[in-house]
Amino acid sequence: MNAVPFSCTWASSGCRAARHPLLRWLAAAALALAAGAAQAECSVSASGLGFAEYDVFSATPSDSSATITVSCSEATSYSLALHSANGSPQQPLLGSSSDTLAYRLHQDAARTLVWGEGAFALNGSTEGTQEHTLYGRIPEGQNVRVDSYTDLLTVTLEF
């Protein structure tokens, strides 16, 4: 049995096999595996979550929403987690110079699914662009001073 030469130069146009059909198939399989090992590239962006003025005497909560957009270069599963600079992800706080105002982050318009990190992260999959709506709610009945309240939300995308 004679050895058939096989050469592969990745810097040039790819792998070339000599005349042997088995080596041609192996070279094609090696190229397919190398192409499948490419990593997806993903990015995330978000609009701001802004609430209207909070009325301490109102019997209804203050609601708002924002959009989180995930873009991936190829089909990819991912997880979106939210982190609050003030408080925990499941109980974030809007802070001022003298007070805090509790609010919640939700995955659904009915505001029943809390959104945060770990078990509270949102899981998804996309090839291209996928938008997710973030629903915020400040519960009624909080006795706070008149002031400007802020929080810094960080969106973490894992894929």
Domains (range + CATH), the chain: 6-36 (no CATH), 42-158 (2.60.40.1090)
CA distance 45 to 70: 7
Average pLDDT across the chain, whole number: 80
* Res. 5: pLDDT tops 90: no
Query: 3-class DSSP state for residue 97?
Result: coil
CA dihedral angle for residue 91, residue 46, residue 133, residue 77, rounded to 10 degrees: -100
% the chain with pLDDT above 70: 76
11-56 pLDDT, tens digit per residue, is: 323 333 333 344 334 444 444 444 444 578 999 999 999 999 999 9
Categorize the per-residue pLDDT at 117 as very low, low, confident or very high, splitting at 50, 70 and 90: confident
Q: What is the pLDDT of residue 99?
A: 94
